Structure 1
Amino acid sequence: MKKITSLLLLALTVTACNNSTKNPEKNDAEMKTDSIENPFFTVSSLPYQAPDFSKIKDGDYRPALQKGIEAKKQAIEAIATNPDAPTFENTVVALEKSGELLNRTRQVFGAMTSANTNDTLQAIQEDMAPKFAALNDAIYLNEALYQRFKTLSDKKETLDLDAESKKLLENYMEDFNIAGANLSSEDKETLKNINTQLASLTTKFTKTLLAANNAGASVFNDKAPLAGLSNSDLEGYKNPDGDGWKIPLQNTTQQPVLQSLQNRDTREKIFTASYYRADGSEHDTKNIITEIAELRAQKANLLGFDSYSGWKLQKTMAKTPEKVFELFNKLVPAATAKAQREADEIQKMIHSKGNDFTLEPWDWNHYAEMVRKAKYDLDENQIKPYFELKTVLEKGVFYAAEKLYGITYKERHDIPTYHDDVLVYELFEENGDALGLFYADFFSRPSKRGGAWMSNFVTQSKLYDTKPVIYNVCNFPKPAKGEPALLSYDNVETMFHEFGHALHGFFADQQYPSLSGTAVARDFVEFPSQVNENWALYPEVLKNYALHYKTGEPIPQALIDKIKKSGTFNQGYSLTETLAAAALDMMWHTVSEDEALNDANAFEKKALNKMKLDVVHAVPPRYRSTYFSHIFSGGYAAGYYSYIWTEMLHHDAYRWFENHGGLTRENGQRFRDMVLSRGNTLELEQMYRDWRGSDPKIEPMLKARGLD
């Protein structure tokens, strides 16, 4: 299972709105300005309209966002009050083309508040969040605008629209109806107030959690408690704020460093800092999340649904909360049973080392690694020298894409970036045609939120003749200066995963930006990225990139065999922790409007017990509610299950690849033509069925997890 992407991304991440584009018309109000100094007021002159970070200053965002909102409002009003009868061009396309300045600015602003934020940007983010919510309401709760769309929708079969244009109209109508366009005027005002409050609260959650993550770092002035870390690790953890060593928190409950640490007290200290980072500290989020959940329940009830999840799942593959719980019920018993067997093995290992304590969560990774060494003779430190970051990217991730899709790359050193760590590549089609720009931002830092994600600076659109400018962000430990960046295999998979999202964006082939690329449902968007993970261990790819960083020697076959044999190791733990997080998400979002949520911790405990996901004491949720940014600020509310849903899809899909010859250009082109290039232009079930030839089956996933 992948270390997950968070979203603002997929709310920022892989959600598509009308992105940065080039409008040749000069009468757009948003392009008129009294100043030429703000770089957002004009389209960037850089290749692909990439943002010019050599010119962008923190002070540019607020005026550009404010001017963009005002211009968008004017465009909406002009469409809604147009005296001419509604047509596809003067209503649907007009709305699709509105907001260029806002979209151009917001794409960059969203990237910076996630990957390189500061106090100034956070203050702007807090100020703008309710204004963005109000703008959304100004579109979807606008009665006159809605009636124009409804008029067109009612006669869409007579409009002579091509398939994508028809889908665009249908998509807007769904969004209008889901957003509450049918509500009374009084209820619309109530809904607007709820949406404004939610926008402020989710932004407050983001800011509070970032502070909690940074404050939760563990500082050590003595090297003894850090026994087990390599000299390279210790160099990487040198405290930038003073003497000693500082170990920052990852976004997940478990912390990768616990695997190596020999001192049990140190492990417990770091785990506890992670577990309670936003619970009881000065950066406590419990009241924020209960208020968010209560407001979401109120919103759902106002919109005619029993729960927020029932409302939120309307445009997904699952469709209903019942379908999600049905999936959970198929997986929970097998996952927890395997996790218990793994716990028993680890407990035996603890006793074999002369210890009599009971296995706790902070012990799991440390002793599980011992079990793995004993069972498979595999040591993570044996693997890392073969996984140097840039080699993995260029000779692994890019190489697999070349074999499947024919794309090639060239590193660009002339494109300004927002941080010195960011790499930029230009990608090309097999025939040499330009495909787009790719930014890679791999290392963790205090200004970056946790997790890994993909999004666009510029989205593909034939309407504006724009090609994609896409970025991947990760949180790999940064090596000491002069040292190589050596990755764990999990981090290698993360690189393949996030580039799978990027490919979905690069291969987009849509007229309209709001249907382009990754603008698909949550429980489909992770499918292309998870499929791409499979090529990390594909023999031809692995031998091309798994090269010893000192000698250049390829990884030995014996070590490859060990990696593959250990593939189902610890999968009970991995799936159980993910199911626990997904269950928490669904339970928070199936509460009724009148259900009291006074105690977030009590609610969490009750939810896990009800789902029978607390039966293995040493397996905590991948994210506790208090730091579950995916669902309380990242767009995954009632959607975290999608990682499991799409895992089912990707294992089923990889079986198709295996049955048809694996890593071939023919297979890659078929997948590109029928899935990756289609954006949101087809019903997703149909898209998958047309490509696969059948509906997805769960058995390949169970086999891959060792649960069959």
Structure 2
Amino acid sequence: MLSVDLLSLAKAQSTPTWTHTPEEIMEIAKELAQKEVEMNDYVASVEEPTVENLLIPYTKHENESSFLENQIVFYQDVSADKAKRDASTKAEQLLQENGIEQSSRVDVFKVLKKLHNKVKDADESVIDKESKRFLDKVRIGLTDEKRDEVKKLKVELSNLSVKFSKNLNEENGFVLFTLEELDGVPQDVIDGFEKTKDGEVEKLKMTFKYPDLFPVLKYAKNQETRKAAYTSNQNKVPENAEILEKMVKLRFELAKLLGYETYSEFILEDRLAKNQKTVLDFLDDLTSKLKPLGEKELISLKEFKNQDLKSRSLPTQDEIFAWDSNFYDNLLLEKEYQVDHQKISEYFPMNSTIDKMLGFYEHLFDIKFVKVENSDPSTVWHEDVIRFAVYQNIKYGELEFIGWILFDLHPREGKYGHAANFGLGSGYEKTDGTRQTPYTVLVCNFTKPSKNKPSLLKHNEVTTFFHELGHGVHNILSKTKYVRFHGTHVPRDFVETPSQMLEFWTWSKNELKQLSSHFETGQPISDELIDQLIKSKHVNTGLFNLRQLHFGTFDMRLHTVSDKEKIEQLDMTSLWNDLREEIALFSNGGVTTKGYASFGHIAGGYQSGYYGYLFSQVYANDIYYNLFKEDPMNVENGIRYRDLVLKKGGSEEILDVLTDLLGRPPNSDAFLEELLSSSA
């Protein structure tokens, strides 16, 4: 037992405030931009660079400005005040344009390169490994005549990406349904729909927020209802289609200016995959392995669909449509596997599930989460936000505050519409040797509690929570010298690995039982329900992963075009719809959609990188199978994994880190075993 009062200690920890006005947000952005210019002017003036007169002040500036920049940009994703969201978007554009200009300065690059050449062979008495890695990553390499063209393209791409994201966040569309059209949708969900009049008819408003949309796709018996919900959601931000089309063409131009055959070759140079051939071979190989399994699953699903239609005296159909997949997948789980996700959700009320989930991480990584109430409203951007102070070395008596993690869990107007972790404040080593602790945020969109029930998490939402918390804990536990390498600042095709690895805990019997607690009785979930759920893990896994391959392949097809004429003739709408039928196997039913218009990943961050979700699973499965499969709560392996992987962030080569952890280079054996286990 600890003799200290952790809550009192936590309340005493300094924490950022969220009281900025729209005007202050813009003013801060201008000040940050000016300071960046001043720092680069200083660097360019250094004639004889050393670690002391160049690297220390340069990295100090980057470290210390990081949080404030992330904070003012974050308002656009979470603020309930549209004026703040708008100011945040403008601030991001200003900062990105300035960043592009400053990162293109040859005078700065030459001085940094000069220092790099001086110290690249020096020992650790002169420069530590992480500092040497920092200088290794400094690149520019542009000729004078191309630099202005490249800057112009980067600024235009940055602005389009911000606009694409803003359009998604501000999206407030809906579809109106009668109560009869929503037959099958749980009453709790229907009760949450706003009522409105469509002429003389009372209708219910289904928005495209996850808690509205997914239950309709999963439970609505009326096929036309599901079709309307699906196609409307796919087409919900039509203006983004044109934006993405323009971005793809600009990316092509940028790659050519920089001397690359394709945009993918440019992007992948710093990824683990290294080149587009590796990625395309990976995707093609997976598709060829999974397609026979998916086709087999599709035949069974068609038979199941027609049994359902016959039972309701409806004509049979020869196809499974894209809007059928969630409904029949769920119905199959209920009827053939006795998996009732509504029933299962009763055992995962949000608050107790969060407490138990945090307990798992506490046990594995020797940390402690201390909930701190928002007695001062300025410490959060919205009243829904939950704050935790995190401590380490509890078991060994060396109490250490290691950072803040915050949860913003319910949808609201203007808020980021998916699930993500935002590492707003990276940890780093201050010049006096002390540490700046990290500040990280989970943003999700789970159902709000009702008058009669708390927020109940579906099993897939529990898995999503585990996944995003994995990113958050990666940020909290990382201990690097520089923000540039902190936590999730790793190659994009590895960044999902720690989170995907932790998803396994939500499919492990003992862990699921410990995680559960019925919202009325407090009883854990029964062995029977758990066994049925676990048995269903790989039901239609071929079709599920083929859907991921559709996304990844579409992304790569956009960014591996090497011919100017072909990029001009690229028909993105046909490519999106044709690839869905070809790879994901579900019929489009003759309906053309522009789902890529809400594919936020490839508009900013995951362009030529969506393959990374599957690619990083190779490493995730290898780690889990070798360290945790036999004993998911093995503390010794948890601490080892924490110190060898999470703590290092991106400060070392990832393949070297994994080889150290596993005792051998990583391989795909566990990945293929897990992926293809249902085909046995």
Structure-2-length-normalised TM-score: 0.89
Q: Which moved more, 1:468-477 or 1:333-342?
A: 333-342
Shift of 1:447: 1.5
| Matching residue within 430, 436, 442 for 2:409 | 442
| Correspondence 1:589-668 to 2 at 5 A | 589-592=559-562, 594=564, 595-597=567-569, 599-605=571-577, 612-613=582-583, 615-617=585-587, 624-633=595-604, 635-658=605-628, 661-668=631-638
- Deviation of 1:214 after TM superposition, in Å, equals 1.7
Give the Cα–Cα distance (whole angstroms) in 1 for the partners of residues 361 and 372 of structure 2.
19
Alignment counterpart, residue 508 of structure 2, candidates 520, 538, 550: 538
Residue 338 of structure 2 corresponds to which residue in structure 1? 377
- Output the CA distance in 2 between the equivalents of 1:92 and 1:219: 59
Match of 1:515 among 485, 496, 521: 485
CA separation of 1:449/1:163 partners in 2, compared to 1, >3 Å: closer, same or farther? Answer: farther
Q: CA deviation at 1:325?
A: 1.0
Aligned mates of 1:670, 1:163 — CA distance in 2: 29
What residue number does 1:410 align with? 370
Instruction: Flag structure 2 segments of 5+ consecutive residues without an equivalent.
Output: 1-9
Q: Percent identity?
A: 23
- 1:61 equivalent to 2:25? Answer yes
Counterparts in 2 of 1:623 and 1:498: CA distance versus 1, 3 Å: farther
Which consecutive residues of structure 1, in runs of 5 or more, have no partner in the other structure?
1-44
Deviates more, 1:358-367 or 1:516-525: 358-367
In the alignment, is residue 214 of structure 1 matched against residue 185 of structure 2?
no
- Conserved 8 A contact 2:448-2:454: no
Report the alpha carbon displacement of residue 276 of structure 1 after superposing the two structures with TM.
Answer: 1.7
CA distance in 2, matches of 1:607, 1:261: 26
Please report how far the alpha carbon of residue 457 of structure 1 lies from its aligned counterpart in structure 2 after TM superposition: 3.1
Shift, 1:151, TM fit: 1.2
Structure 2 equivalent of residue 698 of structure 1: 668
In structure 2, distance between residues paired with 1:622 and 1:440: 34
Q: How does 1:297-696 map to 2 (within 5 A)?
A: 297-353=252-308, 354=310, 355=314, 356-357=316-317, 358-395=319-356, 397-413=357-373, 414=375, 416-429=379-392, 430=394, 431=397, 432-463=399-430, 465-481=435-451, 483-592=453-562, 594=564, 595-597=567-569, 599-605=571-577, 612-613=582-583, 615-617=585-587, 624-633=595-604, 635-658=605-628, 661-696=631-666
Aligned to 1:135: 98
- The one-letter code of the counterpart of 2:186 is S
**SS of the residue aligned with 1:484?**
coil
| Cα distance, 1:93 vs structure 2 | 2.4
- Measure how far apart 1:47 and its partner are: 5.6
**C-alpha deviations, 1:580-616, integer Å up to 9, x for none?**
001111111112261214532134346668xx51544
Aligned length: 647
Give yes or no for contact 2:509–2:534 (8 Å, CA) kept in 1. no
Matching residue of 1:4: none
Q: Secondary structure at the match of 1:134?
A: helix
**What's the CA shift string for 1:663-700, capped at 9, x where partnerless?**
12101110011101011121111111110122333232
Q: Does 1:228 align with 2:184?
A: yes
Paired residue type of 2:366: G
Q: Which residue of 2 aligns with 1:238?
A: 194
TM-score normalised by the chain length of structure 1? 0.86
More off after superposition, 653-662 vs 636-645 = 653-662
Deviation at 1:701, TM superposition (A): 2.3
Q: 1:590 to 1:125 in 2, by over 3 A?
A: farther
Q: Residue 455 of structure 1 aligns to a residue in which SS?
A: strand
Displacement of 1:225:
1.5
CA distances 1:111-144 after superposition (whole Å, capped 9, x unpaired): 2212336542443345344432332233332112
**1:339 and 1:660, CA in 2 relative to 1: closer, same or farther beyond 3 A?**
closer
Matching residue within 39, 42, 55 for 1:92:
55
* Corresponding residue to 1:293 among 248, 260, 271: 248
Asked if the contact 1:497–1:529 (Cα under 8 Å) also holds between the matched residues in 2, the reply is: yes
Q: What's the CA shift for 1:78?
A: 1.1
More displaced, 223-232 or 675-684?
223-232
| 3-state SS, counterpart of residue 247 of structure 1 | strand
Q: Which amino acid aligns with 1:317?
A: L
Partner of 1:123: 86
Counterparts of 2:203 and 2:361, CA distance in 1 = 42
Q: Which amino acid aligns with 1:260?
A: Y
Please name the residue that 1:278 is paired with. Answer: 237
Superposition RMSD in Å: 2.8
SS in 2 for 1:674: helix
Residue equivalent to 2:142: 183
- Cα distance in structure 1, aligned partners of 2:500 and 2:524: 25
How far apart are the structure 2 equivalents of 1:241 and 1:667? 59
The amino acid that maps onto 1:50 is T
Aligned pair partner of 2:226 in 251, 267, 271: 267
CA distance in 2, matches of 1:131, 1:196: 10
- What is the distance in 2 between the residues matched to 1:96 and 1:607? 45
- Bigger drift between 549-558 and 436-445 goes to 436-445
Equivalent pair of 1:261/1:267 in contact (CA under 8 Å): yes
- Displacement of 1:703 in angstroms is 2.9
Change (3 A) 1:189 1:116: same
1:198 aligns to 2:198 (yes or no): no
Q: Which moved more, 1:247-256 or 1:537-546?
A: 247-256
User: Which secondary structure state, in structure 2, belongs to the residue aligned with residue 672 of structure 1?
Assistant: helix
* SS, match of residue 471 in structure 1: strand
